[in-house]
Structure 1
Amino acid sequence: MNYILFDGTVRNSLLPFTFTRPVADIRVGIFTIREKWENFLKSTTTTITEEYLSEKYPMVEMEENVLINASFLPNEELVALISELTDNQAIFLEDEVIAFYSKDTQEEVDLNTYEAIEFSGQVIRIENTWDIFSKNAVALQADFDFITEGRESQPISETNSVINAQNIFLEEGAKVECSILNATNGPIYIGVGAEVMEGSMIRGGFALCDYSTVKMGAKIYGATTVGPYSKIGGEVNNSVLFGYSNKGHDGYLGNAVLGEWCNLGADTNNSNLKNNYDEVRLWSYETEGFAKTGLQFCGLMMGDHSKCGINTMFNTGTVVGVSANIFGGGFPRNFIPSFSWGGASGFSTYLENKAFETIRIVMSRREIEFDTQEQAILTHVFEETKKWRKE
């Protein structure tokens, strides 16, 4: 069967992260949503997404296709129901389609003509940016159970102080020395070639993905995910880094999400609680205003390729777009548009050629080319987000 993941109705509520990727390629737990579906389906997937992303994330359509709403995370019950779909059947949760089986081209699909199957089970859905960290504990536990089933962890060095060792898993080449690992409240997963340096204190749930690093003396508590090829240090609480991003120094990051290729300068801090303990509001790209989150704790949302200088302070519920560069004293405003350059004293436009020059250098350090495909995506984002910048 040919499986296609589509963005669904939540794509805009997941900006700025979906400026540069489909919904399916958001990381929550250990895996991206796409990786979760491919693990369960034992099949590759392709994507229906925004046209400007389709060259990097193409769709492959065959005579028979099952299309899956990528905002839903897979579980055994849901995948079993999807596997039983036949032509012109669709699975719904209330009014939202989860999956459907079609022999039609996408232009011809009319879900009103489909036989509707109501899903009555439990399912995790990522509908808003803050869901990425607030639902990370459940997603991380599910991924941990999946990836460790029937397998044995690499030995944990005796130099460590370990609590609940059966809930800790080290992949091949993982290094952890002279640290405290407490997996009482959630699992701890250390990926291939990843390293936890000496003196680190980690409370699960926690995932350190392949070839990432926890710096010396870090204090991390769950549920936190550090995506592949990232570095993390200082104090971190309930945060998700997608990959290739660094918060390598002291400072606090809490209830936060960082995309790829982000860098936080030394002693960067974000607030995750308002002084009056009121509900946090976050910038909404849909309404172009600040939306209620229903959360008392909510920190920083930072899109791909954004960076900040040393001693940067982010206020509660700050949204930073793609490829912004923030520096200087004081608190910058709590919505920073993509390709912004500046800080609390004001912003100007971070010109494409300057931004691309930095991106090229940063990616080359990981031996990854900043190719024309990536440039085209970011050029589109630059143009699409002009209306929010002061030119």
Structure 2
Amino acid sequence: MKLLLFEDKLRENFFPLTLTRFTGDLRCGALKLRQRLEALLTDDEVSFLIDSSIEDLYSERHPDWQINLIKPGDKLFVNCLLKYSPTLFDKIQTLDHEQALVQGNALVAYRSNKDHGSFDPDSVLKQFGISTENVDDALYKHPADLVHDNGRMITYDFDNFFSDKDNSFETEPGATILNPYNVWLGEGVELKPGVVIDASDGPVIIDNDALLMHNSVVIGPAYIGKNSIIKVAAKIYENCSIGPVCKVGGELEACIIQAYTNKQHDGFLGHSYLGEWVNLGADTNNSDLKNTYKNVVMHSYNDRPPFDTNTMFMGCIIGDHTKLGINSTINTGCVVGTGSNLWGRDLISGYIPEFSWGEASLLQPYRIDAFLSTAQLVKQRRQLKLSNKERSLYTSIYHRYQENQ
């Protein structure tokens, strides 16, 4: 049975993060959403049904992927925003042909052996002869859902994908590991003297070639990605996932950082989701709790009403290639769009549009040529190239948002 991972209109709830990536590439736990679904649902072919706006970029980035290709035969279509639960996965794996699971108006999963030249999740539910079953709490609906489910999924991933409980490792003198059977260290991991890894209340996964510098503390559940560096005296509290090639210092709690992002210096970041190639200047701080203790409401894209996150704790969402200057202060529930460059004493609050430049109260458009030049330099520092497809995507996003301000 072929697995087809699709994204639907819910991807817009995850802007700005999904302006530049497939929804299945969002991180929650130690893995990306698609990686977990691939591992659990099939050992056969996988096809990715992605939005046309990022199709060219993904075809370039993943030439070995089957993208927007639907082959004949037995097929299982699964929404890549699927939230793991044993009961839900049992339902999916026992679907018969022309049976579907739905959450409200959203398609969760659908099995079919019909020929599909194309696939529209919305139209599937209108087809004659399809049997549907409603399921609750099956899909992530907003980045806040990922942030608040992150600890649970780190624990799940540890138990199912990093399950060598006899994993043996040596540490430098002076490093302390509490509950070592709840810790997984990859190859080439380096722990400097004074490091504390506390897995008493949840697992800690330190992936290959990561470096934890002197006197840094990591409290589980936590995931530190490949080739990432945790700086001197950093405090990584529970429920954090830090993707590959990041540099992180200061204080973090319940955060997801996608990859290639730097928050090197002192300052607090809590209950937040950062994309790739983000840089937070020294002493940047964010708020993740309102003084009124009310639920955090966040900006929605495409002229929809603000989104109630249904939680008191939610910090900020920051899109790819955004830079914040030293001493930046970010308000509760702030959304900072892709490709922005901000500095100054103003409180960064509400919604900062894509490709914004300057102080929060005096925003100007960030010239697209200047942005692309900086993005190229940033990637060159990691021996990577800003491809023509990336340039085209960012230019398209610029015209879509900045010219309509």
Which bin holds the TM-score, normalised by the shorter protein?
A: over 0.9
Name which of 255, 266, 271 aligns with 1:255: 271
Q: In 2, distance between residues paired with 1:116 and 1:159?
A: 61
Look up the SS of the partner of 1:106 in the other structure.
Answer: coil
Q: Which residue of 2 aligns with 1:203?
A: 219
Whichever residue aligns with residue 9 of structure 1, its letter is K
Whichever residue aligns with residue 101 of structure 2, its letter is I
User: Structure 1 residues 186, 376: CA separation in 2 closer, same or farther (over 3 Å shift)?
Assistant: same
> Aligned pair 1:294/2:294, yes or no?
no
> Aligned pair 1:33/2:33, yes or no?
yes
Post-superposition shift, 1:286? Answer: 4.1
Look up the SS of the partner of 1:346 in the other structure.
Answer: coil
> Aligned pair 1:50/2:43, yes or no?
no
Name which of 164, 167, 172 aligns with 2:187: 172
Q: In 2, distance between residues paired with 1:353 and 1:261?
A: 17
Q: Which residue of 1 aligns with 2:64?
A: none
> Aligned pair 1:73/2:83, yes or no?
yes
Name which of 178, 184, 192 aligns with 1:163: 178
Q: Which residue of 2 aligns with 1:139?
A: 153
Q: In 1, distance between residues paired with 2:359 and 2:168?
A: 45
RMSD of equivalent CA atoms: 2.1
Task: Check conservation: 2:230, 2:249, Cα contact below 8 A.
Answer: yes
Aligned identity (percent) is 30
- TM-score by structure 1 length? 0.93
Task: Check conservation: 1:337, 1:388, Cα contact below 8 A.
Answer: no
Whichever residue aligns with residue 31 of structure 1, its letter is L
User: Structure 1 residues 203, 44: CA separation in 2 closer, same or farther (over 3 Å shift)?
Assistant: farther
User: Structure 1 residues 42, 15: CA separation in 2 closer, same or farther (over 3 Å shift)?
Assistant: same
> Aligned pair 1:241/2:257, yes or no?
yes
Look up the SS of the partner of 1:3 in the other structure.
Answer: strand
Post-superposition shift, 1:9? Answer: 3.5
Look up the SS of the partner of 2:142 in the other structure.
Answer: coil
Name which of 347, 365, 387 aligns with 1:331: 347
Post-superposition shift, 1:344? Answer: 3.0
Q: Which residue of 1 aligns with 2:338?
A: 322
> Aligned pair 1:126/2:136, yes or no?
no
Post-superposition shift, 1:274? Answer: 1.8
Q: Which residue of 2 aligns with 1:96?
A: 106
Deviations 1:333-365 (A, max 9, x none): 321001000123411101111000011111111
Task: Check conservation: 1:267, 1:312, Cα contact below 8 A.
Answer: yes
Deviations 1:1-37 (A, max 9, x none): 3322111231111111111112111011111111111
Q: In 2, distance between residues paired with 1:43 and 1:304?
A: 32
Look up the SS of the partner of 1:141 in the other structure.
Answer: helix
Whichever residue aligns with residue 170 of structure 1, its letter is L
Post-superposition shift, 1:56? Answer: 2.8
Post-superposition shift, 1:46? Answer: 2.9
Q: Which residue of 1 aligns with 2:70?
A: 61
Deviations 1:29-76 (A, max 9, x none): 111111111221235533222212112333222112321111103455
Q: In 1, distance between residues paired with 2:281 and 2:202?
A: 29
Q: In 2, distance between residues paired with 1:269 and 1:320?
A: 14
Report how many aligned residue pairs link the two structures. Answer: 388
Q: Which residue of 2 aligns with 1:363?
A: 379
Post-superposition shift, 1:155? Answer: 0.8
Q: Which residue of 1 aligns with 2:239?
A: 223
Look up the SS of the partner of 1:99 in the other structure.
Answer: strand
Look up the SS of the partner of 2:291 in the other structure.
Answer: coil
User: Structure 1 residues 74, 134: CA separation in 2 closer, same or farther (over 3 Å shift)?
Assistant: closer
Post-superposition shift, 1:165? Answer: 1.4
Q: In 1, distance between residues paired with 2:20 and 2:238?
A: 27
User: Structure 1 residues 37, 135: CA separation in 2 closer, same or farther (over 3 Å shift)?
Assistant: same
Q: In 2, distance between residues paired with 1:45 and 1:366?
A: 30
Q: Which residue of 1 aligns with 2:295?
A: 279
Deviations 1:190-240 (A, max 9, x none): 001111111011211110011111101001111000001111100001000
Task: Check conservation: 1:13, 1:286, Cα contact below 8 A.
Answer: no
Deviations 1:163-198 (A, max 9, x none): 211111101111123211111221100001111111
Deviations 1:255-282 (A, max 9, x none): 1010011110111111112223232211
Identify unmatched segments of 5+ residues in structure 1.
none
Q: In 2, distance between residues paired with 1:119 and 1:183?
A: 38
User: Structure 1 residues 2, 215: CA separation in 2 closer, same or farther (over 3 Å shift)?
Assistant: same
Structure 1 ranges of 4+ moved more than 6 A: none
